[in-house]
Amino acid sequence: MKPPAVFRLTPGKRVLFLTKDPELIRRQIRGELDLRMRDLSVDDLLDDVNTDVMTPAWVCFQYRPEDIAREAYAGLIADGERLIPRDALKNGGFEVIVSGYRKGTGSSRETAVQAEKYCGIRLAIAASFAPIHARNNINQGVLMAGHDVLLRLQDGEGVPLQEFLRGHDPITRLIIAHGGLFPFAKALEAGRVELPPLTTGPRPMTMGEKILARHVLGAENAFVKPGDAVLVEVDGGYSHDFTSAQVHYFLQQEYGPDYRLRHPERFAAFEDHLVYADQVARFRPFLGQVETMRRLQREFQRHATVGDFLTRDGVSPGICHEVAREKLVSPGDFIQATDSHTCMGGCNNALAWGVGATEYANLIKSGFTLVEVPESIRFELVGELADTVTAKDVMLYVLLHFARRQLTLNRVMEFTGPGLRTLSMDERATLANMATECSARGAVVAADDETFAWIAAHRPGTDVAALAARAVAPDPDAEYAGGVHVIDLSSIRPMVADPGDPDRGIPSDPTNGAWVDELGEVPIDIAYGGSCTAGKMDDLAFYHRVVKEAVDHGRRVPERVSFLIQFGSETVERWARERGMVEDFERAGVRLIKPGCGACIGCGPGVSERPDQVTVSAINRNYKGRSGPGKLYLASPLTVAASAFAGRITAYRPGMFAG
């Protein structure tokens, strides 16, 4: 449905303020209180309302938006209880929802927007929006604005649609005016929409800009600048068992049961997220829904004839992002997939980011997509990491010092500099992977000979010269709106992030492994190593370094601690077994798990089962409830392994088990 030319609040409809005071939310839901923006400040509102809060993993076991909406905000918990019970948002008569800064951080799941939209929400108000979530709002036809607009609306003023279009590129304005992506795409296909021409002339470009410029539809030797709206060809992408069913459903709804894709060979379906759902007690009531999602993904894969990375005999070939960089993503590629950690492909000198199910369905149908060229921020790496520090620590440092200040918000993070040569491809993958935790659009890592050699080693017969010819590097005078920041790798110390957000990093004291600031002594119940961020070969080598040293000194993991390591792919598992790592892990009392997302998505062994449990984990995000109800600290693979043996959070130090 197209939005009205002038937006007004509907008489009898309500505005829901997500306040930091839980009781105010409860009273609004019960119908006892109607707040006004004039009575509040932005500081009274919840910041970082993430998509896990809006639709936790178990809610995503549904694929029909109207069913998902019944459990809207199931992850918003206070004192152990939901603040917004089942059906409460839908039955509350709300049409506007209000929060603070960075609405929609976290996973790219479009279900978060669907949950609001199908409860009647027409307008989302926030001080800022995470980029993927903002795009999902646009694609679903939900309007967005700042708190000043709500002040006017609550004073009885009508706000012209043109004001909601302000700040957006010309094509995005057309999508908003049509009421969403599918109505716009159909109008475009029917010739009812005229796209604005690309007028940017020759200019120095960043790596991200160069990749997008190469992919502009119908143009050769194009140049782009931030803010340009362009239709670009997509080199590849993928969906997984949390999203494929909905992609299939949307394509059937919009284009009929016999829909066909333009370039099916470019895309793939992965089974990695739900493989171990049956091993999580709180998910067992939903296993019927999980099986439906798996069945529909298989149906989608057969119908659409996309690449098959589904389970065989119950075993997944690996986490989509890890396998994609091994098998699918090449330098200079533009990749789109239905997961926020799609950006991990940037380690291969590609540009990649996550999109919602609507956008993915539309782009795999047509082979191209709309992009507003994002700004960039560049990190020039110099020096070399200490032997006790990893790329995970680097990213926790970046989150603390740059993302927290919103310098990375909606920008492409580029990693360059001589320090890159000291980092393996697996460590570069960690840099790219956690761009989404920075609320960045994506990441691109500069290429070198190691890039091409690594890809060729994983793809026998690859032409290395052809890979090098496709690689991009920034022009010397390229403009970086976020600035160019030098990071001396030798100055980075092991980091740990407090529960709640990855940007709550605390550095360690390199002399004794203790933590600076207020962390203190933190006993742990679970140590988890795995996920796309920390299930790679190098990560297994980090875990093994600590484990080998421990077992050589007669140490085992304490009985009260569960130490789990999950392989990122079959390739990683095979590599670890060939090097004898598995025997040492087993001697130490480590539980090994076949490839999959597992505890990272809260859907496998390693999740906490009680609020009083404490986990130290090498995964990428630690939002409340992300991996069970307990407290979750983020750290590097070295810190996770060292903490497992110590029974408390501690940084790894060579010789720490000798005493």
Q: Report the pLDDT averaged over residues 335-349.
A: 97
Integer Cα distance of 171 and 611 in angstroms = 46
Whether the CB-CB separation of 394 and 228 falls below 8 Å is answered with no
Integer Cα distance of 658 and 222 in angstroms = 61
* Other residues' Cβ atoms within 10 Å of the Cβ of residue 555: 18
- Reading the block at residue 226, the tokens are 């931030």
pLDDT of residue 520: 79
Give the helix ranges, DSSP H, for 579-657.
581-588, 637-646
Q: Report the pLDDT averaged over residues 109-133.
A: 95
| Amino acid identity at 470 | R
Q: Report the pLDDT averaged over residues 471-497.
A: 97
Q: Report the pLDDT averaged over residues 568-587.
A: 97
Three-state DSSP class for residue 51: helix
**In the chain, what's the furthest Cα-to-Cα distance?**
76
Integer Cα distance of 129 and 164 in angstroms = 14
Whether the CB-CB separation of 221 and 161 falls below 8 Å is answered with no
Q: Report the pLDDT averaged over residues 219-229.
A: 93
* Other residues' Cβ atoms within 10 Å of the Cβ of residue 429: 29
Question: Where are the chain's structural domains?
Answer: 6-187, 207-328+354-371, 498-659
Q: Which pLDDT band holds residue 379 (cuts at 50, 70, 90)?
A: very high
pTM of the model: 0.89
pLDDT of residue 513: 56
DSSP bridge partners of 632 = 615
Integer Cα distance of 322 and 338 in angstroms = 14
Phi, psi for 372 (deg, rounded to 5):
-95, 120
Integer Cα distance of 47 and 500 in angstroms = 12
Integer Cα distance of 475 and 477 in angstroms = 6
pLDDT of residue 510: 60
pLDDT of residue 512: 59
pLDDT of residue 658: 87
- Reading the block at residue 189, the tokens are 């296909």
Q: Report the pLDDT averaged over residues 581-591.
A: 97
Residue % of the chain over a pLDDT of 90: 88
State the Cα torsion 239-245-247-253 to the nearest 10°. Answer: 170
Q: Which pLDDT band holds residue 638 (cuts at 50, 70, 90)?
A: very high
Three-state DSSP class for residue 409: coil
Residues near 221 by beta carbon (within 8 Å), at least 6 away in sequence: none
Q: Pairing relation of β-strands 614-617 and 631-635?
A: parallel
Three-state DSSP class for residue 446: coil
Whether the CB-CB separation of 598 and 530 falls below 8 Å is answered with yes
pLDDT of residue 462: 95
pLDDT at 405 over 70: yes
- Reading the block at residue 520, the tokens are 């203190």
- Reading the block at residue 449, the tokens are 């000979």
Q: Pairing relation of β-strands 14-17 and 143-145?
A: unpaired
Integer Cα distance of 212 and 333 in angstroms = 9
Q: Closest Cα to residue 440, out of 358, 344, 363, 332?
A: 344
Whether the CB-CB separation of 544 and 567 falls below 8 Å is answered with no
Q: Report the pLDDT averaged over residues 174-183.
A: 94
Q: Which pLDDT band holds residue 195 (cuts at 50, 70, 90)?
A: confident
Task: Provide the CATH number for the domain formed by 498-659 in this structure.
Answer: 3.30.499.10
Q: Which pLDDT band holds residue 29 (cuts at 50, 70, 90)?
A: very high
pLDDT of residue 517: 56
pLDDT of residue 142: 98
pLDDT, tens digit (0-9, with 9 covering 90-100), for 381-404: 999 999 999 999 999 999 999 998
pLDDT of residue 133: 93
pLDDT of residue 508: 78
Minimum mean pLDDT range among 20-34, 247-261, 474-488, 621-635: 621-635
Residue % of the chain over a pLDDT of 70: 98
pLDDT of residue 132: 85
Three-state DSSP class for residue 80: coil
- Reading the block at residue 150, the tokens are 């709500």
DSSP type of residue 46: P
Q: Closest Cα to residue 322, out of 595, 576, 640, 635?
A: 595
State the Cα torsion 201-202-206-208 to the nearest 10°. Answer: 50
Give one DSSP letter per residue of 262-283, joined into a string. S-GGGEEEE--SSTTGGGSGGG
pLDDT, tens digit (0-9, with 9 covering 90-100), for 497-533: 999 989 988 887 766 556 655 677 899 999 999 999 9
**207-328+354-371 and 498-659: identical CATH topology:** yes
Whether the CB-CB separation of 356 and 134 falls below 8 Å is answered with no
Cα-based angle 450, 433, 222 (whole degrees, multiple of 5): 75
Q: Report the pLDDT averaged over residues 245-250.
A: 96
The CA-atom distances, in angstroms, between 404 and each of 102, 154, 401, 556 are 11, 32, 6, 38
Average pLDDT of the chain to the nearest whole number:
95
Q: Closest Cα to residue 573, out of 381, 354, 326, 379?
A: 326
DSSP type of residue 402: I
pLDDT, tens digit (0-9, with 9 covering 90-100), for 431-481: 999 999 999 999 999 999 999 999 999 999 999 999 999 999 999 999 999
pLDDT, tens digit (0-9, with 9 covering 90-100), for 296-323: 999 999 999 999 999 999 999 999 999 9
Say which residue, 274 or 196, is predicted with more confidence: 274
Domain 6-187 CATH (choose: 3.40.50.2030, 3.20.19.10, 3.40.30.10, 3.40.50.720): 3.20.19.10
Q: Closest Cα to residue 537, out of 416, 613, 424, 650?
A: 424
Q: Name the CATH superfamily housing domain 207-328+354-371.
A: Aconitase, domain 3 (3.30.499.10)
